[in-house]
């Protein structure tokens, strides 16, 4: 899958190499980073479009992100779609976690799932939280899950 920057430029290297280059660059510039990984989706007719983001937050100095988009023609229940989003985020987090450990970067996985039972996405909250925490990652849900509910949401085409 292709990854791109927010400006639309595609990454020339693998996501792992690009993340490592970004960590090294930001470290040289004296920036302390935190990384948040999240996914979001939108159903458009018979298609479900997904966006997964790796958001780099510079302490006190803004941030930037890498984005991956893909489309599925499968029909999902709301719970199933929320868990597919989480699975996409975990896959990326698992691929990159050794870098975050090596460079002492705090990382969270964000789920676009509402903590209030009145919302349909809440059906997937327990499973998503168990999945993320069970993998050893820090977990955030709405309203604190900005990587999925804001950044990935804007990146879904």
Domain that holds residue 33: 3-155
The predicted structure's pLDDT at residue 55 = 98
Contacts (Cβ under 8 Å, ≥6 apart) of 52: 37, 38, 39, 67, 68, 88, 89, 92, 152
Q: Residue 132 is part of a domain; what is its CATH number? A: 3.30.420
CA distance 38 to 86: 7
Q: What would the mean pLDDT of 133-138 be, rounded to a whole number?
A: 95
The predicted structure's pLDDT at residue 122 = 86
Cα 31 → chain centroid? 21
Kindly report, residue by residue over 66-122, the tens digit of the pLDDT: 999 999 999 999 999 999 999 999 999 999 999 999 999 999 999 999 888 888 888
pLDDT higher than 80, residue 35 = yes
The predicted structure's pLDDT at residue 134 = 95
pTM of the model: 0.94
What is the count of structural domains for the chain? 1
């Amino acid at each position: 899958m292709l990854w791109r920057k927010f400006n639309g430029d595609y990454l020339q290297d693998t996501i792992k190499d690009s993340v490592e280059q970004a960590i090294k660059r930001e470290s040289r510039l004296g920036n302390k980073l935190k990384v948040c990984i999240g996914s979001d989706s939108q159903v458009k007719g018979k298609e479900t479009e997904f966006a997964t983001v790796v958001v780099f937050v510079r302490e006190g100095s803004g941030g930037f992100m890498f984005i991956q988009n893909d489309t599925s023609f499968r029909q999902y229940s709301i719970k199933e779609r929320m868990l597919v989003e989480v699975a996409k985020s975990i896959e990326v987090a698992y691929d990159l976690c050794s870098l975050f450990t090596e460079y002492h970067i705090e990382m969270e996985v964000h789920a676009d799932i509402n903590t209030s039972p009145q919302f349909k996405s809440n059906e997937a909250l327990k499973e998503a939280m168990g999945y993320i925490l069970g993998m050893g990652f820090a977990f955030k849900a709405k309203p604190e899950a900005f990587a999925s509910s804001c950044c990935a949401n804007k990146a879904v085409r």
